[in-house]
Amino acid sequence: MDRRAYIYAFLAAVLWASTAATVKLLLEGLDALQVLLFTSLFATASLLAITAAQGKLSLLRKHSMKDYWRFSWMGALGVFAYSTLLFGALQRSTAQEAFIINYTWPLWMVILAMPLLKERFNTRKAIALLAGFAGVYLVATQGGFLMPRTENLYGNLLALAAAFCYGLFSVLGKRHDDDKTTSMLIYFTTTLILSFAAVLTFSNIPTLNPAQWAGLLWLGVFATALPFISWFLALKHGDVSAMSSVVFLTPFMSLIYIYFLLEEPIHLSSILGLGLITAGILLQPRTARYHQKKKGPRNW
């Protein structure tokens, strides 16, 4: 296998893993909608530059109005709604809890694929779901099975709702085989428009300091646009299953960022719960994992 594939996959994992800690730091001075507005602005600009560099701008003219409508509502679901919920979760919960619970979106894919794609339910899927959601409970309660902690309940529910949104987005996306770069550009353009309207309605355009500009630039370019392109390059040069094993390092790497950047103590229950969630994802049938990873994992 081409060694470049592992480099691209590892780079994507390292960059994606920085999302939770970066957002949490930005939320100390900004609200979730403000963070999303500037993140989507930088991500859209980056994806537009990448699309132009790849010579794919002409593809945008080949889509019909029906295609643009589909791209728009998919972007509203899979980027705008997902990110709003996840950023809200990070604002109301610990970074480790919100990020780990968010990582259950592949489990929601299994559930939603049954009614929407007519995929069959089997024992292996049942075990995968039990393991995954047992991990969620372990993380959310910090191991207090009999006396669970509920101080972060609202934030954790938002993280679970975010995972549901991206699971639904991924299942619906399996029906189409669009160019990934141009479709991501339209998704983020839609998010930029919606987040701008939301900020004008529910918040305000903030005056940013240099640290906030740097954090938002990192989040939009290096933790969003570039890792997606790196991931697609990994898939181009390597085997999907092998690349998937590398990307599963993402949530574990995120704990390193959270510990050093936020100085947030990492609970043993978070590590054990993440292990159960990861085991649940790995227990899914190979074909389901193939489609899931072709779409690209989502961590912010």
Least confident of 30-44, 102-116, 231-245: 231-245
Residue 275 lies in a domain: yes
pLDDT of residue 103: 87
* pLDDT score of 292: 44
CB 166 within 8 A of CB 297: no
pLDDT above 90: percentage of residues in the chain: 60
Would you say residue 29 lies in a domain? yes
Q: Is there a domain that residue 123 lies in? A: yes
Q: In this predicted structure, what is the pLDDT of residue 291? A: 45
How many angstroms separate the CA atoms of 256 and 163, rounded? 22
- Whether residue 288 contacts residue 119, with contact meaning beta carbons closer than 8 Å, is answered with yes
Note the pLDDT tens digit of each residue in 170-193.
Answer: 888 877 778 888 999 999 999 999
Q: Which two tokens stand for residue 277?
A: 């969630």
pLDDT in tens, 25-74: 999 999 999 999 999 999 999 999 999 999 999 999 988 899 999 999 99
b/e string for 87-126 if b means 16 or more Cβ within 10 A?
bbbbbbbbbbbbbbbbbbbbbbbbbbbeeeeebeeeeebe
Type of residue at 48: L
With contact defined as beta carbons under 8 Å apart, do 223 and 25 qualify?
Answer: no
| Whole-number Å distance between alpha carbons of 82 and 298 | 10
Instruction: Show the domain range for 183.
Output: 3-295
Q: What is the pLDDT of residue 24?
A: 97
Is residue 219 included in any domain, yes or no?
yes
Residue 52 placed within a domain: yes
Burial 213-233 (b: 16+ CB within 10 A, else e): eebbbbbbbbbbbbbbbbbbb
Is residue 278, in this structure, part of any structural domain at all? yes
Higher pLDDT pick, 247 / 300: 247
The span from the CA of 253 to the CA of 244, in Å, is 15
In a domain, 205, yes or no: yes
| pLDDT over threshold 70, residue 146 | no
Domains in the chain, number: 1
Per-residue model confidence (pLDDT) at position 196: 98
pLDDT for the residue numbered 288: 44
Q: Tell whether 300 is covered by a domain.
A: no
Cα(229)–Cα(200) distance, rounded to whole angstroms?
A: 31
122-125: long-range pairs with CB below 8 Å, 24+: 122/285, 124/283, 124/284, 124/285, 125/283, 125/284, 125/285
